[in-house]
Amino acid sequence: MAATAEPAKGQNTLSITDNRTGKTYIVPIEHDTIKATDLRQIKVNPEDFGMMTYDPAFMNTASCKSKITFIDGDKGILRYRGYPIEQLAEKCTYLEVAYLLIYGELPGKQQLEEWTNHITTHTFVHENIKKVMDGFHYDAHPMGMFVSTLAALSTFYPSAKKINDPLEREMTFYRLIGKAPTLAAFAYRHSVGMPYVHPDNELSYAGDFLAMMYRVAEPKYRPNPIMEHALDVLFILHADHEQNCSANAMRGVGSSQVDPYSAAAAAAAALYGPLHGGANEAVLRMLAEIGTKENIPGFIKDVKEGKGRLMGFGHRVYKNYDPRAAIIKKLADQVFEVTGRNPKLDIALELEKIALQDEYFVKRKLYPNVDFYSGLIYQAMKFPVDMFPVLFAIGRMSGWLAQWSEMLQDPDQKIARPRQVFLGNEKRDVVMLSQR
Ligand code: CMC
């Protein structure tokens, strides 16, 4: 970046004038962005550290270049590797989509067979994982168990530390995608005091998960095909969402070159929060609290007065209807035909109707997000509310791995280390305790 007074019009550059010094700097623009480090040459005197940007919560900072997921939040568009989410949800299985996210292309028939075989032969967990699970209190939150046992996996696969070895990374894909449903189901079985059910590798990915959750004494558990399909679609819808809080945790923690199990545990921990993957759980609790349609106006009034949020509404990126919410709304009808209608659906529909007409929500572009309706389906499928974020995590595992793998192979990436604006005390001397 050089200082110049007269930039030529039409160049792919940005002129910045520092009014403190009167100097103008020309900064190159690439992909509609400027490099934050280019600003460091903007100084008042040579001893200056140089200009930085201040962007808490990354409101307008791209932390990476990515080819995985595209979102146009204003238009309500979501694509994985160029494919619209609506088409993927209609025409593919979750394992095809997981392959797409990680490798960049949809698998051919043989590739899918091999991929499915690799995943299903890595669904079992070491027997000692059960002992880790058994150490939890009976009412431990399943997400806490999931996060902890994910981290524990790192001790079983120490060679995964070789993150620059493509074969080790490959094994990690199989193991983490294969074992996520097993850990999730084991957490549930522990919480209800039921024996753990081992994976059944003849079943589909979603079907096997349902079997590990619900099988009791049947010699062969046969999942309901509508439930199995609905769950598979929900896994697809949750598979990736570009640089969200948990993907950012996966990349940020992974950038220290820690093993992928520890990084995935960090990502799952980020997902646990009520503003992220914990929102579907919060939606159901909110609907239960509202109780009846008559209570909705009072509830909306409270939200508008800042006494809580309408959970399942609003998104950092979507300023339009979340396309995933639209797919889930349709899916709900299919599920409710089998399970019977979830009575909370009427409250949710009425809430949505009122909120979409209310100036507070309209002005702030707050629309239903993926979590607004997913919980209703999960509940109809008999998943306990505290399992909802765990279900989100199973689907999101492939996205975390795709983001992690892309980050490792990106020559621009280094250990993530933000700057700060220091506003604390200047240097001062310690006064001895006796004199304070
Ligand atoms: N209910 C009421 N008001 C809201 C809501 C909501 N759900 N979401 C945002 N607002 C208001 C907020 O109070 C603020 O108003 P004002 O400008 O008067 O201060 C304005 O809208 C902007 O909100 P923000 O908090 O600055 O927006 P954000 O981009 O930081 O937050 C969000 C995004 C998803 C955290 C937020 O919309 C929210 O808390 N939603 C509820 C939780 C939820 O459903 N989360 C799931 C997200 S989708 C799944 C996932 O990606 O994990």
> pLDDT per residue over 357-414, tens digit each?
999 999 999 999 988 989 889 999 999 999 999 999 999 999 999 999 999 999 999 9
Contacts of the segment 71-78: beta carbons below 8 A, 24+ positions apart: 71/241, 71/242, 71/317, 71/318, 73/315, 73/317, 73/318, 73/319, 73/320, 74/319, 74/320, 75/320, 76/318, 76/320, 76/321, 76/322, 76/323, 77/323, 78/241, 78/323, 78/324
For ligand 1, pick from 238, 281, 356, 369 the residue to mutate: most ligand atoms within 8 Å of CB: 369
When pLDDT is averaged across residues 319-347 and rounded to a whole number, the result is: 90
Please tell me the distance from the alpha carbon of residue 351 to that of residue 380, in angstroms, as a whole number: 19
**Would you say residue 4 has pLDDT above 80?**
no
* Alpha carbon of 312 to ligand 1 centroid (Å): 9
Residue 246 Cβ < 6 Å to ligand 1? no
**Would you say residue 1 has pLDDT above 70?**
no
Ligand 1 atom 34, closest CA: 315
Give which of 45, 48, 392, 387 is closest to 236, Cα–Cα: 392
Please tell me the distance from the alpha carbon of residue 159 to that of residue 171, in angstroms, as a whole number: 10
Radius of gyration in angstroms for the set of CA atoms belonging to the chain, rounded to a whole number: 24
pLDDT at position 279: 86
* Alpha carbon distances (Å) from 269 to 313, 330, 368: 22, 30, 24
Ligand 1 atom 48, closest CA: 369
pLDDT at position 87: 98
Please tell me the distance from the alpha carbon of residue 213 to that of residue 292, in angstroms, as a whole number: 31
Instruction: List the single range of 110-124, 169-183, 304-318 with lowest mean pLDDT.
Output: 304-318
pLDDT at position 280: 87
Residue 78 Cβ < 6 Å to ligand 1? no
Residue 149 Cβ < 6 Å to ligand 1? no
Taking each continuous run of H as one helix and of E as one strand, the counts in the chain are: 17, 5
Average pLDDT for the chain:
95
Instruction: List the single range of 71-80, 115-124, 276-285, 351-360 with lowest mean pLDDT.
Output: 276-285
**Would you say residue 7 has pLDDT above 70?**
no
Going by pLDDT thresholds of 50, 70 and 90, the confidence category of residue 300 is very high
Burial 352-381 (b: 16+ CB within 10 A, else e): bebbeebeebeeeebbbbbbbbbbbbbbbb
**Would you say residue 2 has pLDDT above 90?**
no
Going by pLDDT thresholds of 50, 70 and 90, the confidence category of residue 245 is very high
Task: Quickly count: other Cβ atoms within 10 Å of residue 5's Cβ.
Answer: 10
Residue 312 Cβ < 6 Å to ligand 1? yes
Instruction: List the single range of 333-337, 408-412, 416-420 with lowest mean pLDDT.
Output: 333-337
pLDDT at position 45: 95
pLDDT at position 274: 87
When pLDDT is averaged across residues 251-261 and rounded to a whole number, the result is: 98
When pLDDT is averaged across residues 71-100 and rounded to a whole number, the result is: 97
Residue 276 Cβ < 6 Å to ligand 1? yes
- Residues noted as catalytic: 276, 315, 371
**Would you say residue 5 has pLDDT above 80?**
no
Going by pLDDT thresholds of 50, 70 and 90, the confidence category of residue 6 is low
**Nearest atom of ligand 1 to the alpha carbon of 246:** 52
Going by pLDDT thresholds of 50, 70 and 90, the confidence category of residue 148 is very high
